[in-house]
Structures are given as structure tokens and as C-alpha cells.
Structure 1
């Protein structure tokens, strides 16, 4: 995967994380924090945007994209919590997020060649 394609892929993962985590957070705020239906509606729209962003990944395999995104989601959720809710992850949270990102790198960017028969 050339460098520009990897950079594009990483940016798409970040955009997807913002849309999905932000959408879930908006719904949480609308329902659990009683902010109202407009917050919930905005969350539903953001979650829909997440679904579209994932389709722009250069890899054609849905399963691979969503599996790798899982690691981005874990890490992004911790970052979102830190920035938006004042959450302070402990070392185990950080180690777990690092393991997830390592998994993302292996799933998405490991060299793949022709399989020998």
C-alpha cells in the first residue's frame, strides 16, 4: 500500500471514529442526559455518516475494514472520553488501546502477496 493510500486510509478511520463515537455520544446525551430529541436525531445522522465514510476505504473487503475499525473505535472512544467527558484512562486502558492499534496495523497494512499453493 503506497504511503498516500495509507494516509488516506488513516484519515478515513479518524473521520469514521468521529462520526460513530460522536453519534453514539449525541444519542447518549439526548436520552441519558435528557437533552432531547434533536440530540438523538443528530446522533442518528452522524451514525449514518459513519456508515458512508467506511465505504471510502481503499481495501475492498468489508470484514477487514470493520475488523480493523474496531481497534480504532476502542482507541477513539478513550480519546473522546478524555476530551469531551474528562475521563482519565489508566495504564491498562492505554495498553489495551495500543494492542488494538497494533491489530489495526496488522489487519490493514501488512504486506499481502500471492498465496503459494
Structure 2
């Protein structure tokens, strides 16, 4: 379930950021900012649904999924296929995210 939440959050963040990109860089209407802002708010909400004890750890682990999703966006939405260096870098990041999220933790003593 965590992976699906991260994937939904990544799509919401990328879509929100792309709306700003479209407005500033692609000369789209400022009305693009409305769904962009809603999408970024949805992204923030979705990250609160992740079952993690610390927000920072949830955000750090999310980073790997975000990078992989960004490359998928680049390929599917922008038509630019990721090269091997993109995929190697994304693989390293996803591995790092998995280590952060699933690594064993020492119990905190009160």
C-alpha cells in the first residue's frame, strides 16, 4: 500500500510542478496554476498517509519513487526516452529509498 501512496503522491507532485512549468516555460494560461496548486496540495496530503514514524524518513524514502516517476513522466508525457544513465541513477535512488524505509531500526527507549 505504501508504494501505491508514493506513486500517487509522485504523480500529483509531478503534475502540479508541470502545471507551473507549462505556465512559465511553455507560455500556457495562468489558469494552469489552479489545478497545479490543487495537485500539489493533494501530493502533500498523500504523503501524510504513509505509515512512517518520522515525516523526514517518509519524505526521504519517497525521493526514490519520485525520481523513477519523473523519468516515466519524461518518457510518457514529454516523449523523451530515459537513457541508461537515467536508469542507472534511478535504480541507485530506488535502492537507497528502500534501505531508508525498510532498514531495521533500533527501538527507542523512553
Question: So what's the TM-score if we normalise by structure 1?
Answer: 0.86
Structure 1 residue matching 2:74: 3-state secondary structure: helix
* Cross-structure match for 2:11: 18
1:114 equivalenced with 2:93 (yes/no)? no
The runs of at least 4 consecutive aligned structure 1 residues that moved more than 6 Å come to: none
Q: C-alpha root-mean-square deviation of aligned residues, in Å?
A: 1.3
* Cross-structure match for 1:63: 56
Q: What is the CA distance between 1:55 and its match in structure 2?
A: 0.3
* Structure 2 CA distance for aligned equivalents of residues 35 and 57 of structure 1: 34
Structure 1 residue matching 2:77: 3-state secondary structure: helix
* Structure 1 CA distance for aligned equivalents of residues 3 and 82 of structure 2: 23
Structure 2 residue matching 1:85: 3-state secondary structure: coil
* Cross-structure match for 2:41: 48
Conserved 8 A contact 1:57-1:65: yes
Q: Following superposition of structure 1 onto structure 2, how do residues 85-100 of structure 1 map, counting pairs within 5 Å?
A: 85-100=78-93
* Unmatched segments (≥5 aa) in structure 2: none
* Unmatched segments (≥5 aa) in structure 1: 1-7
